[in-house]
Amino acid sequence: MDIPEIDNAANQVVVNLLPTKSKQTYDLPCNCFKEWSDTKHVENVTENVLVVYFDEQSVTLKSSISWLTFSQFKATLNVNDTIDISKFTKLVAFLKRKSDNYKPKKYKIFSKKETETVLREAPDDRFLMTKVALIIGDTR
């Protein structure tokens, strides 16, 4: 194999490194970033560029979504552009600072007694599927 053939083969392998099932999910924030970059006339992805982008996004996004986006960027930029943003210490520090006051939403979890009450007292005609799900979920 000569060099162009090796390069083409390597490119084919690299294209498939991102998870197939979630490729669209990974591409969406990256496409938004590319649009933002175009409007700001950004030529190169640098740490400062990403800090500004995440700062602007943090106005409307929760910190958990910012971390998710960071993770998606990390994978996508590493594969597509060979940029390792995990080494962008200012960006990581920024994300940590933004998540200082973040309080995750706590969901109410039924106690065993509450679950038994639902199974006994809820009418089957409205809650049969819920009861089945509770029984299956409780046995696993």
The full 3-state SS of 63-124, as one line of letters, equals HHHHHHHHHHHHHHHHHHHCCCHHHCHHHHHHHHHHCCCCCCCCCCCCCHHHHHHHHHHCCH
The answer to whether residues 89 and 112 belong to one domain is no
Question: How many Å apart are CA 98 and CA 47, to the nearest integer?
Answer: 17
Q: Which residues of the chain have pLDDT under 70?
A: 1-2, 102, 138-140
CB 53 within 8 Å of CB 98: no
pLDDT at 2: 62
pLDDT of residue 140: 53
Q: Would residue 62 count as lying in a domain?
A: yes
Domain residues for the domain of 117 are: 108-140
The reply to whether 135 and 83 lie within a common domain is: no
15 and 77 in a common domain: yes
Q: What pLDDT is stored for residue 86 in this prediction? A: 92
pLDDT at 68: 93
Q: Are residues 50 and 114 in the same domain?
A: no
- Report which DSSP code applies to 46: -
Identify whether residues 72 and 19 lie together within a single domain. yes
Q: What's the total number of domains in the chain?
A: 2
